[in-house]
Structure 1
Amino acid sequence: MMRIFLCLITIATLNSCGSTFVEYDYDKNVDFSKYQTFAYDYENISGFSDFDEKRFTKAVDTVLEARGWAFSETAEMLIGAQSTTYETTSRNALGVGIGGSGGSVGVGVSGGIPMGGRELHRVLTLTMYDENSKATIWEAISESDLKVNATPEQREEYFYNLISKILKKFPPERN
């Protein structure tokens, strides 16, 4: 029984680490099959460092081109993105407790020892809109954890995994 309990705790712990949450919304009246090309609206891409903007566009290119989309200067669909990062302190703590009793009297003392340090998070809003009408046709908002002091290779992998997850439900399936 203890072995099962430890396995469940381990799975829950691993599941909670490094989560990415994505919310989607789109115009249900849009026929996404009419869009075959994309480009970036660099006036509507903000919040990235110069290096991260290149990693972001490379990841989007890779994912969309693998699905048959083509980058074009005269694209039918434009992509914009806003990225913000924020910092929190780790909520992990180690609890220590001391207790005792004597007769009918009980005494207890407990405290938490903080573990870990700062945590970085990114909120990324990816917007796709029709080039002609400028109307938003699809949007995703994601929140994910960032690794503090990540190497360039780790950042590239982070963006590829993030964009793969964000674009998992793009284009939306017709009902």
Structure 2
Amino acid sequence: MKAFKLLPLALLMLFVTSCSSVKVTADYDKAVDFQQYKTYAFFKEGIDQAKVNDLDKKRILNAIDANLAAKGLVKTDKNPDFVINIFTKAQEQVNVTNNSHFYSPYGYYGWGWGPYWGPNNTTVTTSIEGTLYIDILDTNKKALIWQGIGTGYLDKAPNPEKKEQRINDFIEKILAKFPPVIEKK
């Protein structure tokens, strides 16, 4: 009986954790030796066109810098090995929940007085699903060599610190796949 009482709480926790996760995919050129890359820069012209406000753009770039520095890569303005471009996409998701009639053979809240048909509640909520693309281009070949894509729900952060943490989580999960681990044959 206790298990049935805890079931709604368990389902709520599963929903909350699944909504906060980031789905990540990555693609890369298998012919490229990623160990040769040591320095990078941002592709300013492309980043300027990214459809995200300047505060969030700065947070994204800072998170990329911190993540790549932790991997031993160095940012430079002079002849970088690769450049990074970002772009974003957002899509509104509409969720409709219909809580159908509740029937109790014992009446309203089990107090006798005949059967009870409860309210029919329909709730509509919206959320924003955001996608962040991180492109890495070889400066000598002038070609895309790696792309990471992170998709997740963007919540209205109550303060800048929470927003920054959410962006850092996004970037960390995307760049966890860079550089790719290529198995030697």
Q: Could you say whether these structures have the same fold, taking a TM-score greater than 0.5 normalized by the shorter chain as the test?
A: yes
Contact 2:148/2:177 (8 A) holds in 1: no
RMSD value, Cα: 2.5
- Provide the TM-score with structure 1 as the length reference: 0.83
Tell me how many residue pairs correspond in the alignment.
Answer: 167
Query: What whole-Å deviation, never above 9, does each CA across 1:46-103 have from its counterpart, x for those lacking one?
Result: 11211111101000001110111111112101000111222233x26351314589xx
Match of 1:142 in 2: 150
Question: Which secondary structure state, in structure 2, belongs to the residue aligned with residue 166 of structure 1?
Answer: helix
Q: Would you tell me which structure has more strand in proportion to its own residues?
A: 1
Contact 2:84/2:136 (8 A) holds in 1: yes
Q: How many Å apart are 1:2 and its aligned residue?
A: 4.7
Q: How many Å apart are 1:37 and its aligned residue?
A: 0.8
Match of 1:114 in 2: 123
1:29 aligns with 2:31: yes
Contact 1:119/1:146 (8 A) holds in 2: yes
Query: What whole-Å deviation, never above 9, does each CA across 1:119-141 have from its counterpart, x for those lacking one?
Result: 12211111001011111110012
1:43 aligned to which of 39, 42, 45: 45
1:130 aligns with 2:141: no
- Provide the TM-score with structure 2 as the length reference: 0.79
Question: Which secondary structure state, in structure 1, belongs to the residue aligned with residue 179 of structure 2?
Answer: coil
Which blocks of at least 5 consecutive residues in structure 2 are unaligned?
106-116
- Considering only CA atoms, is the larger Rg found in Structure 1 or Structure 2? 2
Which blocks of at least 5 consecutive residues in structure 1 are unaligned?
102-107
Identical-pair percentage: 29
Return closer, same or farther for 1:50/1:141 CA change in 2, 3 Å cut-off: same
